Structure 1
Amino acid sequence: MMKKTSLIQSPGALDKMRVAGKLASDVLVMLDEHVKVGVTTETLNQIAHDYIVNVQQAIPAPLNYNGFPKSICTSVNHVVCHGIPTDSKILKDGDIINIDVTVIKDGYYGDTSKMWIVGNGSIMAQRICDVAQKALYAGMSVVKDGAYLGDIGAAIQEVVEPERFSIVREFCGHGISNEFHHEPQILHYGKKGTGMQLKTGMTFTIEPMINQGVWQTKVLADEWTAVTKDRKLSAQWEHTMVVTDNGCEVFTTRPEEDLSFLNS
C-alpha cells in the first residue's frame, strides 16, 4: 500500500533529489568496468554497497527494505526485476543483466537501472535491450505539465508492441521523493488522455519491463525474484524525473546518454 504524500515537490526537495539521482547514476557508471564474464552478482553488490556507503556517504535504499537482503537488484536473463545478488550467480558470456540502484541522500531517493550485455550477446539480446531503452525514452518524451499518465503508457506501447515484445503488467513506475514508493503509479501501458493529469513538480520513475515472450511473470520462493513465466528474456531501463512546464528534468541521466529530445 502506497502512503499518502505530497505529489508536488518543493524547490528544496528537488535540489536534494538532483543530488540523490546523480549519486544513483554514478553507481551504474562506476559498475560498468566490473560487469564482465566470471563476476558474481554478489561481488557487484558488494562493490556497489561499499561505494554508496564509503565514497558517497549515502544509504543503499534496497538493503533491508521490506526484508530485501542486498543493496542492489541484479536481474539476469529471464529475471524481470528484484533479482537478489548471490555468490552462486556467475555472469556468463551472452548474459544480459539489469542492475537497479536506489540511493538515499539527506532523506531523498534517486532510483535508476540499466542493462548490460555480458561479453558477446545474441541478436535477440541486443534487440530487447535496445527496445526497452527506446520504450523508456518514448515514455519520458510525453511527460510535461498537463499530460496524462495514460500518455506515458500509450507511448511505451507504440514502441514495444510493433517489435513483438510484451509489456509486464504486474510492476510499474512510482512516485518517489523522501519516500521510496508513493503515488502516482506509472503504468507502462495505457490510453492517451486517461488517468491522472501531470503537474509541474511531480517526481516519479518510469521503468518499463519488456519481455521476449508472454508478459506474465512469476515470483520465486524467495518472495522477491520475479521471472518471466515462459523463461524467455526480459529487459528494463529506469530513470527518476520531475515534471516541468514543457517536459521533464531527469535526475539520473548518465554521461553516455543524449536526452536532448526532452524539453525541460
Structure 2
Amino acid sequence: MIVVKLCKVYEYRELSVKLDDFIIPNVLNTIKFDAETKLEEEEWFYIEVDQSHKKMIDNYSDCFINSVSLNEVSDNDFSNIEVIVKQIDTNIIFQKITSSKRIVNKSILKKPEDKKVEMNTIDNGIEITSKIDAYYSEDRLYFKNFAIIKSMFENIEDFYREATSSEVFQFKALSLVSVSERLTDLGTRNLNMLAIVNDDDEIDLSDSHFKEKMLLEYQKYSELDFEVDNQQFIINSKKQLNIFLKLALGRLYENPMTRQKMEASSAKKIHK
C-alpha cells in the first residue's frame, strides 16, 4: 500500500499502485543534523524523533494502521500530491514530489520489446524515481536536504534554528550596524547565521572590544561588499548582511598554508 500527502495540508490518500523500486536506502554513514555541516555523497543527516515530535511520523504511520478510512486519490487530488510514502515492516520511506517531477502534456517515444517504437502522450503524470528523500526507522528520521523535507513533517522546523523576530529587532538596534528599512527579508541562511551568532557565548556584537576587532578585521577584505560609515557597518542587502555575519563568525580568514584569503559557507568548532 502507498500513501500520499497532499500539498500544504496534512491530508492523506491511498494510491493503489505497486512501487517495487521504492526501497529502503543504504544508510551507513550518519551525522546528527547540523545546518552548518555539508554532507559527503554517502552521508545522511538524522534527527532523533522524541515523544514531543512523534506526531510528525504518526501522521503517516497512522494511515497504514487505519487504511480503511483512507480515500483513493481523486482527479482533483492528483495535482496536489506532495509526498509519496511507503511502509516496509516498521520502516517508512518518503519521496517529495517537486514541480520538476510533474509531467504535463508531454510526449515520449517508447520501444516495447519485439515491437515497433510507439508514441505515448502523458497529459498529467508524476515521475517516480528510486531516490529517497527521507527514511524513518527506530525513532530516527534520516535525510540529506532539510530544505526539501521541511514541508513534509509537522513542526520539523524545531530542529532548524533561525533568529526570531525579537532577535532580528535587537540586531537592527545595535550601534555596530545600520540596517536599511527596505531590507525586510533577511533570508533563511542569514537568519540561521544570526541565530548561531546569538547562541555563541564568545560573540557579543554589543561589546565595544568585539566591535573594535570587527572594524579592524574587515579592512583585510576590501574586495568584498563591506560598507562602513561612522563606525557602523551599512547593511542594505542580503549580501552585505551575509558577509557581516561571516566576519563575526570568523568565516573570512587567510589560509595559513597558501596565504590566500578565504570565505567559508560553514564552520564547526573543534573541541578537545
The TM-score, its normalising length taken from structure 1, stands at 0.21
Structure number with the bigger relative contact order (C-alpha 8 A, sep ≥ 6) is: 1
TM-score of the superposed pair, with normalisation by structure 2? 0.21
